[in-house]
């Protein structure tokens, strides 16, 4: 089954929510955990226990694991394996982007069968040119996985690149959207090439009408976006939109039951 089909099935069964696993130093402190790899491990595996089988997608943020070197990456591998054993889609938030053989190596790491870092999808950056992502798109298709491509982010610095106008009159952001739409053409019920579009944008300044793929919308919850904001930005039915929330859920740990209940409350807000 393609990633787009598996994602649609997961959303139909568990609602449209992606919950992040972000073992940020501040959250480790709030949970009373040490600021080392043992604290990261306890934090992350508690999240796996609480969230596995409960929400459509879980998104571990790779950087917080990488910060602890090889032992931290080993914890990330355990998180991916644990969530997949719980039949939960895993989106590895790594934002990789490069060219040629290096991009192919990233694709092998995050999208190939047998790699311990391969979840069900990975975030990637297109700002070396959308075509530089071809190895990742091809690897995702070959293994039934997906990619989420940065398109229109809500950080203020992003607009300097994403609003730049190409010779054909489109913005860089719109060209990313259009390239994703071309990759998804004809797929049912959704294509495997998703986009990352910030939920806290004041207005949606790209046309998603031909995308035929999922949209990851970070910024829901603690970062300020509400369910009403999401519907105002993306339309009332939110088809294909996957709101992402991290701190709004994670602040309820370390108790597993409280963490799970918080995730289900947030899920129900956007269902």
Residues annotated as catalytic are: 95
User: What is the distance between the alpha carbons of residues 139 and 106, in angstroms, rounded to a whole number?
Assistant: 10
Output the six-digit token pair for 133.
Answer: 């992502």
Nearest to 43 by CA among 57, 60, 63: 60
User: What is the distance between the alpha carbons of residues 249 and 30, in angstroms, rounded to a whole number?
Assistant: 13
Instruction: Provide the 8-state DSSP code for 235.
Output: -
Instruction: Provide the 8-state DSSP code for 170.
Output: -
Beta-carbon count within 10 A of 70 CB: 8
């Amino acid at each position: 089954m393609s990633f787009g089909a598996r994602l649609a099935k997961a959303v139909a069964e568990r609602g449209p929510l992606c919950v992040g696993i972000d073992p940020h130093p501040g959250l480790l402190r709030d949970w009373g955990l040490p600021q080392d790899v043992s604290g990261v491990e306890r934090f992350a595996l508690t999240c796996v226990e609480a969230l596995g089988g409960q929400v459509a997608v879980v998104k571990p943020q790779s950087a917080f694991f990488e910060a602890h070197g090889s032992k931290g990456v080993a914890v990330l591998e355990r998180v991916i394996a644990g969530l997949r054993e719980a039949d939960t889609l895993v989106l590895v938030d790594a934002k990789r982007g490069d060219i040629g053989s290096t991009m192919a190596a990233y694709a092998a790491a995050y999208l190939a069968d047998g790699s311990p870092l391969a979840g069900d999808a990975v975030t990637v950056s297109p700002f070396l040119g959308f075509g530089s992502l071809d190895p990742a798109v091809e690897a995702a298709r070959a293994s039934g996985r997906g990619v989420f491509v940065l398109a229109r982010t809500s950080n203020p610095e992003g607009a300097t690149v994403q609003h730049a106008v190409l010779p054909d009159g489109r913005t860089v952001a719109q060209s990313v959207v259009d390239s994703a739409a071309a990759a998804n053409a004809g797929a049912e019920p959704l294509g495997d090439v998703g986009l990352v579009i910030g939920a806290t944008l004041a207005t949606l300044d790209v046309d998603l009408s031909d995308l035929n793929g999922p949209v990851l919308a970070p910024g829901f919850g603690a970062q300020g976006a509400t369910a009403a904001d999401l519907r105002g930005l993306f339309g009332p039915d939110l088809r294909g939109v996957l709101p992402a929330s991290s701190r709004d859920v994670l602040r309820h740990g370390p108790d597993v039951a409280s963490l799970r209940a918080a995730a289900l409350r947030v899920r129900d807000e956007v269902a």
